[in-house]
Amino acid sequence: MEDYDSSKTRETNDKIKHYISSSLKGLNEQSRNYIKDIVILINKEIGINKIVSLLLFGSQQVDSENTVVSDCDLLFIFKNRVSNRHIKEIERYFLALEIKHGFKEPTSKLFREVLGVIQQSTGMFVSHFLTKQKFWEQAIFYKIFRVNRFFSALFAPRNIVLGNVIQNSTLLFGEDLRNTIRPKIKITIREIFRSTVMNLFISFFALLIAPRKELNSIKYQLEAIKWSLKASNYYCYEDSESLDKIVERFISFEIPKQKVKAERFYSKFLELRKNPINDLKFMVFSPIRILRIHVKAIIFRKLTKRKASQKSFLPTDQVVDQRSFPLTY
């Protein structure tokens, strides 16, 4: 009977691995090989049948956004009975896999500890997130992304991040649990203030470590700008468009005199994502641009809310289509 049960389990696990492999066809080879190795690891340590849901989110889904600074964001949602000890045990092996597949660069112990504080606090440049079904369904942010509880409570735009994951993700395996937390996501101005503080913190941190070339500070600066754009875009539109589209939107928010500067900055930003080098001039101006991105988002949201309230007092035949509403200020 025991042999039959173990044989049945192996058969089930093989089917799951085959199913996940078949879901990876649209991804690049680097991401496919990374995910396959992770699945093999999880199957060996705790059993792949313990996965309730597996989501891929972020830039690896979009060819135009998949650059050398992109990581491969995977969210594993395990059954509640999987122990914290098991999750911590398998997480120890993930770092080696990230280095093996080029999603993380090997660094000295000292620098790894310094960068680890930032990564643990923000979830930046982490290519895997392991959580339990109950934490996902309760939308407990720090438990889902395994980040610092204090930092995330004060600074993380939690609802914006979760909203982006729901809209900009691919189900690779298991149950689709994305809609279970949708009603819990409320976007307020507090979210955009948190995003401003967090991304400015990351931006200034990047400037602080800029003299040490081996730390690749430009990657942190680029992530701070990307996260600012993504969060602010979601605050404005509650959608998850490509970076190119979001950049177009924020350039259009600028007054004519400022558009040339904005176009120059964003062009450099997209170029550096493809070929990251420590451009000090770009990095110095980044905090100002990050602040400007969030201010523009707040103004846009206020204007659209005001326009919506004005519509409600107009006769039906005088209501203006929102798609043709110009942003003028």
Given pLDDT bands bounded at 50, 70 and 90, which one contains residue 195?
A: very high
Q: Are residues 8 and 138 in the same domain?
A: yes
Domain that holds residue 249: 187-315
Average pLDDT over residues 79-98: 85
Q: Are residues 192 and 178 in the same domain?
A: no
Question: The tokens of 80 are what?
Answer: 């509640």
Residues 131 and 211 in one domain: no
Neighbours of 327 (CB within 10 A): 16
Q: How many domains are there within the chain? A: 2
Tell me, yes or no, whether 327 lies in a domain.
no
Chain segment 251-295, per-residue pLDDT in tens: 999 999 999 999 999 999 999 999 999 899 999 999 999 999 999
What is the pLDDT at residue 180? 93
Residue 13 domain-assigned (yes or no): yes
Q: For residues 206 and 218, is the Cβ–Cβ distance under 8 A? A: yes
| Cα dihedral 168, 173, 179, 184 sign | negative
Residue 128 carries which DSSP code?
E
Identify whether 248 is part of a domain.
yes
Q: Quick one: pLDDT at residue 327?
A: 43
Instruction: Tell me: pLDDT of 21 over 70.
Output: no
Mean pLDDT value across residues 37-48? 85
- The pLDDT of residue 64: 47
Residue with tokens 């080098």: 277
**Model pTM?**
0.79
Q: What average pLDDT does range 231-257 have in this prediction?
A: 93
Residue range 157-169, pLDDT digits in tens? 899 989 988 988 8
H-helix or E-strand spanning residue 51: strand 51-57
Strand partners, 131: 77
Question: What's the pLDDT band for 59 if we cut at 50, 70, 90?
Answer: low
Among 141, 156, 185, the domain boundary falls at 185
Chain segment 99-149, per-residue pLDDT in tens: 787 776 655 555 555 565 566 556 666 778 899 999 999 999 989 988 888
Higher local confidence (pLDDT), 149 or 60: 149
The arrangement of strands across the sheet holding 169-174 comes to 128-132, 73-78, 51-57, 169-174
Mean pLDDT computed over 205-213: 89
Strands 73-78 and 51-57 turn out to be antiparallel
pLDDT at 29 over 60: yes
The chain-wide mean pLDDT, for the chain, equals 81
Domain boundary among 120, 154, 185: 185
Q: What are phi and psi of 102, to 5 degrees?
A: 80, 15
